[in-house]
Amino acid sequence: MEKFFSATLLVIAIFTTITAKLPCNAQTDDQKCLPSERKALLEFRNGLNDSGTTLSSWRGMNCCNWRGITCDNITGAVLGIDLHGFLNLSGEISTSLINLSSLKLLDLSSNTFGGIPIPNFFGSLKNLQYLNLSNTGFSGIIPPFLGNLSKLQYLDVSSSGFPRVIVKIFEWVSGLVSLKHLEMNNVDLSLVNANWLEILNMLPDLTELHLSACGLSGSISYLSEVNFTSLSVIDLSFNGFSSLFPDWIVNIGSLVYVDLSNCMLRGRIPLGFGALPHLEVLNMALNGNLSADAHSLFDGKWQRIEVINLASNKVHGKLPSSIGNMVSLVEFDMFDNYVEGGNPGTIGSLCKLVNFDISGNKMNGSLPKVLEGTEKCGNYGPFHSLLNVRLSNNRLTGRLPDWLGQLKNLETLSLDFNLFEGPLPDSLGSLQNLTTLSLAGNRLNGTLPESIGQFMNLTVLDVSSNFLTGTLSEVHFSKLKNLKILSLASNSFILGVDSNWLPPFQIRNLNMGSCGLGPSFPVWLKTQNQIMFLDISNTSVSGPIPDWFWDLSFNLSLLNVSFNQLQGQIPSSFEVTPFADVDFSSNLFEGPIPLPNVPIELLDLSNNQFSGKIPQNIRDVMPDLIFLSLSNNQLTGQIPSTIGNINNLMGNVPSSMGKCSFLKVLDLSSNNLSGEIPNSIGQLNQLQKNNIEGTLPPWLGQGFRSLRIINLRSNTCSGEIPFELSNLSSLQVLDLAENSFIGRIPPSSGDLKAMAEEQTMSKYLLYANYRGMYYEESLVVNLKNQAQKFTKTLSLLTAMDLSRNNFSGDFPAELAKLHGLVVLNLSRNHITSQIPESISRMHQLASLDLSSNDLSGIIPSSMASLSFLSYLNLSNNNLFGKIPDAGQMSTFGANAFEGNTGLCGAPLNAKCPRKEDPDKGNGVIYDEDNVFVDEWFYLSIGLGFAAGILVPYIVLMIRKPWSEKYFDFVDKVTFKLFFARRRA
């Protein structure tokens, strides 16, 4: 399908108008151009630089015969200049074009004008109907004078890269009253007013609107009155609207193509799309927060739909058991939606379906019986045209159905990362046209059918991460001559091929990790001259790596032979491709540290028997190094001045460490380092995790926007915490425990933004994880008085541990602003004052340890609302009063409160007194509501009450006349009130 069919028709119509009187759109022999216009064209040519032969034809008297020029065959006037894509024209554009008074078409697209602005005089070409300046290299502001082109029907100023042109004022577009096609893809519209949509709505003939990746923002959900009566194409993709979905779009009955992908739209997808009679393409992928019930959404007619892409949204409902009305659907993509539950209903027979992709959803249940109802598709049956099925990354369960084998024309079957179980159906052997078979990440068991080896067109075979077993023989690969990607990892396969086996394929990516290849290094790899990615980790291979392997390694971008029993020495200068990842870890290699002969990004030599010093030129050899691990070897000497991430070393941290501009992880733990941390470390602005020793310099809080973890636990750091630390907006874990820090905990600690937010997204970071799993994110945290190691859930943890230091001063009430904090440990310091009542705002706290300080006052009753709190230690302080016994506070044992002689009530054995307690000072009484009051206050209440009752009574008894007058007055008032009520 032509993506912009109506645009093609429009261009043809304009060209037809221009050349209507020319036979076959060619120039006639007697056609002569006007001398004044020939002169204008020559001036235009003289300003241009032509690296080819485009303008070399601009010779002779008849300019109508020049390449790219179209003239009127009667008057000879120039009607069109089409120089699009002619070998990168550049230079200046002469104003002489104004003299071409009949010019209707100007196409300078796909040239390189080197950042010059769009000429203002283009707005004086009054008869222009077609103007294409896309990908011309223009820059600067689009001149508002273009709004004078009232006859313009087609305007394209798009750019596929840089430089970009800019629109600051959009109102000039309203002057293009004849406009049918507007294309401004990648034009900077970020500065235009919010009324840009209303302005476009004023153009009565607009049929195509392309504003992709323009930097537009704000709401597009409302349009007072929809005037887009002719609009067939609307493309607003890749803008940041952050808006509710624009329901007004479904009121445009002429729509053929809709692309609102990656627009940050939210809300419900209107059901009216299914009723649009001409709609062929609907793309709303990558919004993330669009939702709809699948049954309701697809219950419309969808008369001409060919492409549906709802990727990365929240469409819900089950995969239907039958597929209903969209009989001409070509592509169906619901990648990464939330499709679960709901009425399955009917989505259509899809007799002409070519691509079916619902990857990345939360679909559940087993695959439906989609082949029922074949009468709807004639003799061919549904999915006869189906070429690609992609259902990966869902929650689909059950066994793979036998009917998959009936999809005879299928080329791609991708069911990876679901919950499928059971053996592979024998019917898969019928899919002889398969090019891609991906079943990775399921629970499949049994063996791999030998029929797989008959797929002559197969280029990708991935069954990794299942429970498959068995021995793979030459038969499994016998006809796979086109195979390029083979992944059998994380199963229990044993490769049982002959030692002289010659594979029929030339593999590019080979992943056989955790398969049985040993005991010898696989000799058949010697034939694989095109291999680029090789992973044979944990395959029980032993012995030395053969010499012939290093003749193949020059082409490798990934080399992983870790977790084997390989031994011997690696060449001191081995060959791989530039920027490769190399993993020799967990073997028995020995000898000096080997280095590649080209710069690489990852080198893991850990857990071997390498010895000697680290080469001084290590940084020179690998200037782009992102990850280096030499741990658990027998290395000696000091850290070279060119590198720093080494273990079992001594000496200072070199100042040159600051030149590692791409460093994300700095781990110098468990060493014998000494001296101060160099200031140059402050230049590592991509650092996300560190474990360093020394003092805590103020510059640590400057520039580290990505720093998530600071771990200085169990060192000899001293001094005060700099207030600049609060600038670390991404900091989630601050562990300064077991040091010698002094002074107050700075109030600015309450400004740590990442700790103030609840962390709800689990993100398992594997640093330097380009083509393998390397520096695994992990951290040991003192949680609930126990050391716990966090790995995959570390991104959910927010913790502050300042325990076992010499901090003093008042408890910083500002810490209560850290609403997302899960762990707070201030124990074993000298912190004074009371626990603030506002501590209840830290509603995510799971572990709170304030023990062994000098805290005083009562325990705030508001702590009972900390519903996640499962560990509490307030022991060994100077707290007093009754322990709150409501909510979460009633769940803790006596050990949480012991060592506070003034505390009473459960769970302690000390009962709370109700009378004067000499231990708490004279005149003080304690009640069960945890309140200390002055006994004179109660005495005054009692005396006041007595005086209020007894004094009037005594007075009336002594003075009898006053008594008579008083009660006579009361009787009269009572009588009047009674009478008034009766009368009412």
Which tokens is 138 given? 């223009």
Residue of 337, 363, 490, 471 lying closest to 415 (CA atoms): 363
Which tokens is 942 given? 């009692």
The average pLDDT across 271-291 equals: 89
Greater confidence, 643 or 574?
574
In the predicted structure, residue 868 carries a pLDDT above the cut 80? yes
Q: Where are the domains of the chain?
A: 694-904
CA distance 472 to 322: 38
pLDDT band at 947 (very low <50, low <70, confident <90, very high): low
What separation in angstroms does the CA of 133 have from each of 93, 165, 208? 12, 11, 17
Which tokens is 119 given? 């000429």
pTM above 0.75, yes or no: no
Give tens-digit pLDDT for 750-760.
889 888 887 76
Q: How far is CA 258 from the centre of its chain?
A: 24
In the predicted structure, residue 707 carries a pLDDT above the cut 90? no
The average pLDDT across 292-310 equals: 78
Residue 832: the pLDDT is: 93
CA distance 591 to 43: 74
The winner for highest mean pLDDT among 415-419, 460-464, 840-844 is 460-464
The mean-pLDDT minimum among 120-134, 314-328, 701-715, 868-882 falls in 314-328
Number of H helices, E strands in the chain: 8, 69
Greater confidence, 324 or 94?
94
The average pLDDT across 664-678 equals: 56
Q: Are 231 and 237 in contact (CB under 8 A)?
A: no
What are φ and ψ of residue 542, in 5° steps? -135, 175
Residue 907, preceding peptide bond in cis (omega within 30° of 0): yes
In the predicted structure, residue 648 carries a pLDDT above the cut 60? no
The average pLDDT across 563-577 equals: 95
Residue 620: the pLDDT is: 82
CA distance 337 to 298: 15
The average pLDDT across 443-447 equals: 95
Residue of 400, 421, 394, 371 lying closest to 317 (CA atoms): 394
Give tens-digit pLDDT for 212-231.
999 999 999 999 899 999 99
**SS3 label, residue 154:** strand
What are φ and ψ of residue 28, in 5° steps? -85, 155
The mean-pLDDT minimum among 310-319, 347-356, 451-460, 489-498 falls in 347-356
> Is the C-alpha dihedral spanning 325, 331, 334, 340 positive or negative?
positive
Matching residue, tokens 């096609």: 181
What separation in angstroms does the CA of 788 have from each of 739, 774, 784, 945? 20, 21, 9, 61
Q: Which residues contact 536 (CB under 8 A, 6 or more apart)?
A: 510, 512, 513, 517, 522, 560, 561, 564
Greater confidence, 775 or 624?
624
Residue 434's DSSP bridge partners are none
Give tens-digit pLDDT for 254-270.
999 999 999 999 989 89
CATH for 694-904, among 3.80.10.10, 3.40.50.10320, 3.30.1360.120, 3.40.50.300?
3.80.10.10
Question: Mean pLDDT across the chain, nearest whole number?
Answer: 81
Residue 644: the pLDDT is: 46
Q: Which residues contact 625 (CB under 8 A, 6 or more apart)?
A: 599, 600, 601, 602, 603, 619, 643, 660
Give tens-digit pLDDT for 157-181.
998 877 789 999 999 999 999 999 9
Residues 275-311: b if buried by 16+ CB within 10 A, e if exposed: ebeebbbbbbbbbbebbbbbbbbbbbebbbbbbbbbb
The winner for highest mean pLDDT among 284-288, 334-338, 459-463, 963-967 is 459-463
DSSP 273: G
In the predicted structure, residue 641 carries a pLDDT above the cut 50? yes
